[in-house]
Homo-oligomer: A and B are copies of this chain.
Amino acid sequence: MREELLRRINERVWHPGDIIPGEADLAEEFGCARTTVNRALRDLAESGLVTRRRKAGTRVAINPPHKATLTIPIIREEVEGRGSIYSQSLLKRDKQTLPPHLHAAFPVSAADRLLYTETVHFADDRPFMFEERYTNLEAVPSFEAIAFDLITPNEWLVQNAPYTAGDLTFYSVNAGQRLARLYEALEETPLFVMERTTFNGDLPITHVRMTYGPGYRLRTRF
Given A165-B222, A174-B190, A188-B188, A66 and B196 touching (CB < 8 A)? Answer: yes
* Number of chain copies forming the complex: 2
Q: How far is the CA of A10 from the CA of B205 in the complex (A)?
A: 14
For chain A, residues 149 to 184, give those with C-beta under 8 angstroms from any C-beta of chain B.
155, 158-159, 162, 164-174
Q: Which residues of B contact A216 (CB under 8 A)?
A: 171-172
The stretch among A69-77, A90-98, A126-134, A135-143 that forms the contact with chain B is: A69-77
The answer to whether B190 and A191 have CB atoms under 8 Å apart is yes
The stretch among A19-27, A57-65, A79-87, A115-123 that forms the contact with chain B is: A57-65
> Does A192 belong to the interface (CB within 8 Å)?
yes
The answer to whether B65 and A68 have CB atoms under 8 Å apart is no
Q: How far is the CA of A200 from the CA of B9 in the complex (A)?
A: 13
Q: Which residues of A line the B interface, CB within 8 A?
A: 9-12, 16, 48, 62-74, 77, 155, 158-159, 162, 164-174, 188-193, 196, 200, 215-222
